[in-house]
Amino acid sequence: MPISFRDKKSTLFRSFPMRRKSILFGTLFTVALLGLALSRAETGPVPDLVARDDLTAADLERVLTVTAPTTDFTKPEPFERMSAGAATSRERINSNTFSHPSANISFEGRQDFLIGNGLFKKVWVSSPSSTQASDGLGPLFNARSCQRCHLKDGRGHPPDGPDDLATSMFLRLSVPPRTAEEERALAERITLRIPEPVYGGQLQDVAVPGIPAEGRMTITYEETAVALNGGETVMLRRPTYSVDDLGYGPLDPDVMLSPRVAPQMIGLGLLEAIHPADILANADPDDLDGDGISGKPSWVRDPETGDLVLGRFGWKASNPTVHTQTAGAFNGDIGISNPGAPDPHGDCTEGQPACREMPTGVQERLGDTEAPDPILDLVVFYSRNLAVPARRDVDDPDVLHGKELFYDTGCAACHRPKFVTSREAQDPELRFQLIWPYTDMLLHDMGEGLADNRPVGDASGTEWRTAPLWGIGLTETVNGHTFFLHDGRARNLLEAILWHGGEAQTARDTVVAMTPDERAALIRFLESL
């Protein structure tokens, strides 16, 4: 049954309805004043962001001591094997290694986790269907379940070739701002990007019967050689992306494409539990200390309060919480509306009227979205509590040597080893844990080689959030491949390192200049994570 459209003006701003008024009453003057980039001062300091307000002085002292970078590489640090503190999984290492709950979870938490797991695997069907609680797919979508892209809760990969349908990546789409209103919306972080006018915020390559899919992502690779000290040559493949079989007319000539593979799902609740003050302590957006490393926070709006908060999730840190990330993925990737992203037509725009007229899966007696409470919350809970596995071989001499090289080369400046999570984290299991994620949760310029040239919020076209490295050595065990970076272009860890440019150029050049044994030790360390 067709349903009436929601407020048509809300398409662009639907995640931030509370701010709409300010757009309407804003002036060009404020746009000019704010510019396109917000600096920290202009956001206004939020009190709980500047200091660890969750700790006593004694606790703070302990935290500072335990998170200080080590200088002793002769033996493992205390607690080092337990990457996620008491939440660390010590289950057997096999292809299910990323699918266990936080080890310290209660029986009750385990229930929510497993129901969430069932929903994560659940195959959604198109409307109308006999199982009304399970329909609502699309109309446009990339996958029919969460698990389809987050295979084994691990990392997605680019297609192996033109016949490989089993992809777990897609293209994000946007255009530069064209009006003062759009510029102001970006400046005020009412939105982080302007969607392609017809195709919306991402390219959905599948549709329910009755309407065309949006198109098919195509990739071509060009190989370039990198010579390493010691005589080895590594081939890097540089991808070019385009879209074939467009279902809704030509793309906007100014469209910007950004390929994204599905990231691994482990440890997300712990990353959310890192206190903002610990992230901001590392931020140096203008590189005032002159070390060549900036580190820029991604400021985004909390959809519930409208406050500016730290973006943490996604390849450009566009989402502040696992909840917003999950709500957006449910709606954009599967086309399932939910309390955090309520449009039942998903990413269908006004420029796709046939799509917006398709039936939806909303059943009023069940709730006002296709995945009403508690469905979204259960999937969010599951996503927050996928455990990080314990490390292997922490005391192996090669691993320890590789760790030393990791620090000496400067990798640890951005891939920050340790944090102690907030005592006020949402889940008790995730509170006050010493964790080893190897990320600073900040944006960094990674150079032209990795650039998607598609700005999102604070992240410029060359900036990416430092990817967490925990669990990276188990990618092959879990997913049977070693494709890394935001679009899976790197075919192993060494290629991933060699793609680093921009702020990481010096570190990358150091790796090129290493002896083969040193590089092998560095990789051994990464594989032990």
Binders of another protein in range 460-499 (CB under 8 A)? 479-480
Using CB under 8 A as the binding rule, whether residue 141 contacts another protein is answered as yes
Q: Of 42, 48, 91, 377, which lies in the binding site for another protein, with binding defined by CB under 8 A?
A: 91
Judged by beta carbon, residue 50 or residue 166, the one nearer another protein is 166
Using CB under 8 A as the binding rule, whether residue 333 contacts another protein is answered as no
Q: Exposed, middle or buried: residue 489 (CB in 10 Å: 0-12, 13-18, 19+)? A: buried
Residues found in the chain: 529
Sort residue 411 into left (φ over 0), alpha (ψ -120 to 50) or beta: alpha
Judged by beta carbon, residue 140 or residue 523, the one nearer another protein is 140
Using CB under 8 A as the binding rule, whether residue 362 contacts another protein is answered as no
Nearest-angstrom CA–CA distance, 91 and 41? 46
Judged by beta carbon, residue 99 or residue 324, the one nearer another protein is 99
- Residue 312 Cβ vs another protein, minimum distance, rounded to whole Å: 22
Q: Of 119, 243, 261, 411, which lies in the binding site for another protein, with binding defined by CB under 8 A?
A: 119
- Residue 127 Cβ vs another protein, minimum distance, rounded to whole Å: 13
Q: Of 92, 244, 253, 289, which lies in the binding site for another protein, with binding defined by CB under 8 A?
A: 92
Q: Of 125, 169, 190, 400, which lies in the binding site for another protein, with binding defined by CB under 8 A?
A: 125
Q: Please, which residues have CB within 8 angstroms of residue 102's CB and are 6 or more apart in sequence?
A: 84, 87, 89, 109, 269, 385, 387, 427, 429, 430
Give the number of other Cβ atoms within 10 Å of residue 485's Cβ: 18
Q: Of the ranges 388-396, 399-407, 409-417, 468-476, which one interacts with another protein (CB under 8 A)?
A: 388-396
Q: Which of residues 163-202 bind another protein (CB under 8 A)?
A: 163-166
Using CB under 8 A as the binding rule, whether residue 225 contacts another protein is answered as no
**Which of 323, 348, 81, 340 minimizes the C-alpha distance to 208?**
348
Using CB under 8 A as the binding rule, whether residue 291 contacts another protein is answered as no
Judged by beta carbon, residue 113 or residue 464, the one nearer another protein is 113
SS3 for 31?
helix
Beta carbons of 369 and 337 less than 8 angstroms apart: yes
Using CB under 8 A as the binding rule, whether residue 388 contacts another protein is answered as no
Give the number of other Cβ atoms within 10 Å of residue 299's Cβ: 22
- Residue 258 Cβ vs another protein, minimum distance, rounded to whole Å: 21
CA distances from residue 473 to 192, 205, 344, 463, 464 in whole angstroms, order as listed: 33, 31, 39, 24, 21
Using CB under 8 A as the binding rule, whether residue 308 contacts another protein is answered as no
Q: Which of residues 242-281 bind another protein (CB under 8 A)?
A: none
* Cis amide bond preceding 176, omega within 30: no
Using CB under 8 A as the binding rule, whether residue 60 contacts another protein is answered as no
Q: Which of residues 62-81 bind another protein (CB under 8 A)?
A: 66, 76, 78-81
Give bridge partners of residue 239 from the DSSP assignment.
221
User: Could you write out the DSSP letters of every residue in 181-245?
Assistant: HHHHHHHTTS-SSBPBTTTBTB---EE-TTS----EEEEEEEEEEEE-TTS-EEEEEEEEEEEES
Q: Of 18, 51, 115, 512, which lies in the binding site for another protein, with binding defined by CB under 8 A?
A: 115
- Residue 309 Cβ vs another protein, minimum distance, rounded to whole Å: 27
Q: Of 304, 395, 424, 517, which lies in the binding site for another protein, with binding defined by CB under 8 A?
A: 395
Using CB under 8 A as the binding rule, whether residue 118 contacts another protein is answered as yes
User: Could you write out the DSSP letters of every residue in 370-412?
Assistant: SSTTTHHHHHHHHHHTBPPBPPS-TT-HHHHHHHHHHHHHTGG
* Cis amide bond preceding 128, omega within 30: yes
Task: For residue 331, give the DSSP letter.
Answer: I
Q: Of 60, 133, 283, 512, which lies in the binding site for another protein, with binding defined by CB under 8 A?
A: 133
Judged by beta carbon, residue 23 or residue 125, the one nearer another protein is 125
- Residue 330 Cβ vs another protein, minimum distance, rounded to whole Å: 15
Judged by beta carbon, residue 142 or residue 298, the one nearer another protein is 142
Beta carbons of 144 and 333 less than 8 angstroms apart: no
Judged by beta carbon, residue 25 or residue 107, the one nearer another protein is 107
Q: Of the ranges 30-38, 102-110, 222-230, 511-519, which one interacts with another protein (CB under 8 A)?
A: 102-110
